[in-house]
Amino acid sequence: MLRLDHRSSVPLRAQVEELLRKLARQQAYQKGELLPDEMTLAAQLGVSRGTIRSGISKLVFEGILERKAGVGTRVADRHVDSAIRAWRSFTREMAANGITVENFRLDYRPAKLSAEAARALQLNPATHVWRLDRVRGWNGQPVLESTSWFHSRLELKGTEDFTAPLYETLEKVTGVRPRRAREEFLATVADAHTAGLLRVAKGTPLLLRRHTVFDAGNRPFEFAEVRYVSSRFTLTMDMAQKES
């Protein structure tokens, strides 16, 4: 029997999301069985259909669930390597594969935009915005170094906790939810600074991934550059032809 605690201080929407995560981990749903439909879940849990739909949409966005019109909702196919959806939540993507992400460095401060960030965010290059630099990995070894610039429109305060998943934190403090991302991939090598952060030799081949993230109004609000140690990480892409 599915139940929520209607007397709890935890919002019902958050409880629904957690319940859906637990359902997604059950063996039957891991094997492709459809989850109960929105009306059934709403009736069982005593909440509105909109609350259920919001929870499902959140997990669809994270790549945990997939929903097809006229079919239903089921657990999305997972891969051992990171899929293209990983920008939504790298921490959750790796956790689904049994990997605990470690933070080796986190620096959050106001800074000028790079030329690429200014173009992506459509801001004057002289604009100061909040910049987040992180080095992350697992098993005691750094795997990637990332830099994110956030649009001044978000009105961040500098007190945000980015030890939690980035987009969940942004949604919580600004109300902005990612809608889509534009990705660019390039081959590069580690300069002296990056080599030191990632504990590799200068000149080591790296995968450079640039992405611009847009909100529901199709406005860019984050531009990021992520450098992966190629020998420690594999990025996969799934492509399929849409059914006519």
Q: pLDDT tens-digit profile of 17-28?
A: 999 989 988 888
* Whether residue 39 has pLDDT greater than 80: yes
Tell me the fold of 12-75. Arc Repressor Mutant, subunit A (1.10.10)
- What is residue 87's DSSP assignment? G
pLDDT at residue 64, as a whole number: 83
Q: How confident is the model at residue 79 (pLDDT cuts 50, 70, 90)?
A: very low
12-25 vs 49-61: helix crossing angle, rounded to 10: 60
| High-pLDDT (> 90) share of the chain, % | 57
End-to-end CA distance of the chain: 39
Cα pseudo-dihedral 179, 98, 241, 167, rounded to 10 = 10
How does strand 128-138 pair with strand 141-150? antiparallel
List, as one string, the DSSP characters of 169-223: HHHHHH-----EEEEEEEEEE--HHHHHHHT--TT-EEEEEEEEEE-TTS-EEEE
Q: What is the DSSP letter of 83?
A: -
172 pLDDT above the threshold of 80 = yes
Average pLDDT, the chain: 87
pLDDT for position 62: 72
Q: Rounded distance, CA 99 to CA 112, Å?
A: 34
CATH number of the domain located at residue range(s) 84-232 in this protein? 3.40.1410.10
Coil/strand/helix, residue 57: helix
Is residue 46 within 8 A of residue 16, CB to CB? The reply is: no
Residue 241 clears pLDDT 80, i.e. is over it: no
Specify the pLDDT at position 1. 63
Q: Is the pLDDT confidence value at 148 over 60?
A: yes
In the 8-state DSSP scheme, what is residue 19?
H
pLDDT band at residue 232 under the 50/70/90 scheme: confident
Position 243 scores a pLDDT of 57
Q: What are the boundaries of each domain within the chain? A: 12-75, 84-232
Choose the weakest-confidence range: 93-102, 105-114, 129-138.
Answer: 93-102
Question: What is the Cα–Cα distance from 198 to 145, expressed in whole angstroms?
Answer: 7
Which letter, b or e, does each residue of 158-171 get, where b requires 16 or more Cβ atoms within 10 Å of its Cβ?
eebebeebbbbebe
- How many percent of the chain have pLDDT more than 70? 88
How is residue 35 written in tokens? 């989850």
Q: Which residue would you say has higher pLDDT here, 189 or 84?
A: 189
Residue 81 has pLDDT above 70, yes or no: no
Q: Does pLDDT of 89 surpass 80?
A: no
Query: By three-state DSSP, how is residue 151 classified?
Result: coil
pLDDT of residue 80: 35
Q: Is 20 exposed, middle or buried (0-12, 13-18, 19+ CB in 10 A)?
A: buried
DSSP state letter for 233? -
Confidence of residue 216 (pLDDT cuts 50, 70, 90): confident
Q: Is the pLDDT of residue 83 over 60?
A: no
Q: In the structure encoding, which two tokens stand for residue 69, read together? A: 């019109």
Q: Say how many CA atoms lie within 13 Å of 167 toward its Cβ.
A: 25
